[in-house]
Amino acid sequence: MVLSQIIISTVLVSLISLVGVFSISLNKKTFSKIIILLVALSAGALMGGAFIHLIPEAVELGNENVYLYILSGIVLFFIFEKALWWRHCHKEHCEVHTFAYMNLIGEALHNFIDGLIIAAGFLANSSLGIVTVIATAMHEIPQEMGDFGVLIHGGFTKKKAIIYNFLIALTAVLGGIIGFYTIGMLNIEGLLLAIAAGGFIYISASDLMPELRKETGKKSIITMSMFILGIIIMWLTGLME
């Protein structure tokens, strides 16, 4: 039952990689408006998921080093981002061809880790599994739209970009299956949940929230509202527990 939940969830998250297709028909202005709203919602969901669900669950599992692992998660995600270029170039010019392939490598590792995190969530309990899926999905939507744009800008054809992006996304399924067979055996659910919480906090605070800070006027109010909505969604999922 748990393995089925993990596989179905990681497949659904992988399908989000196809969302980039819909960005093709959008003009630049409309795309920018949509993406910033998704980024704001994602930032709130990641923060909410970390503080409302993942950290309390990791503490409940009784590991005395929970907060050290959270800090380790922040550091690890920072290292991964620097080493594998997780931070995508949006408006600035990039060395596109090299970056496109580096982007695929980084995303493969990223999605594999997402699969492990989702597996850890479902192994703890079904509700936490659903929370990790929602938080991961909300982060993946704007990211996958950005990934698709990077691949196109890097010289890939639209068809090739769709295929490559989807195949890379499927590494989440592999991570979920491997996680199911190893996490419980090694008794590291608490460790992975704490590291995931650190990663969620890092992504939200370092990558997403700075983008929201650039908005002014009415846009600032709207993006802040979406950020708060993301936190509220995570809080509401807690009612399922």
pLDDT of residue 87: 46
Residue 16 lies in a domain: no
Phi, psi (rounded to 5 degrees) for 200: -60, -45
- The position carrying tokens 């982007």 is 103
pLDDT tier, 76 (very low <50, low <70, confident <90, very high otherwise) = confident
pLDDT over 60 (residue 183) = yes
pLDDT tier, 86 (very low <50, low <70, confident <90, very high otherwise) = very low
Q: Are 189 and 26 in contact (CB under 8 A)?
A: no
| Closest to 43 (Cα-Cα) out of 233, 238, 231 | 231
- What's the angle, vertex CA 49, arms to CA 48 and CA 53, rounded to 5? 110
pLDDT tier, 184 (very low <50, low <70, confident <90, very high otherwise) = confident
pLDDT tier, 241 (very low <50, low <70, confident <90, very high otherwise) = low
pLDDT tier, 234 (very low <50, low <70, confident <90, very high otherwise) = confident
How far apart CA 26 and CA 11 sit, in angstroms, is 26
Residue 45 lies in a domain: yes
Structure tokens at 143: 């990211």
Structural domain count of the chain: 1
Residue 204 lies in a domain: yes
Residue 63 lies in a domain: yes
How far apart CA 53 and CA 197 sit, in angstroms, is 9
pLDDT tier, 91 (very low <50, low <70, confident <90, very high otherwise) = very low
Residue 17 lies in a domain: no
The model's pTM: 0.76
Q: How many CB atoms lie within 10 A of CB 177?
A: 16
pLDDT of residue 106: 67
User: Out of 73-82, 90-99, 112-121, which region has the weakest mean confidence (pLDDT)?
Assistant: 90-99
Residue 14 lies in a domain: no
- Selected residue with higher pLDDT from 112 and 109: 112
- Structural domain span for residue 45: 2-9+23-240
pLDDT over 50 (residue 125) = yes
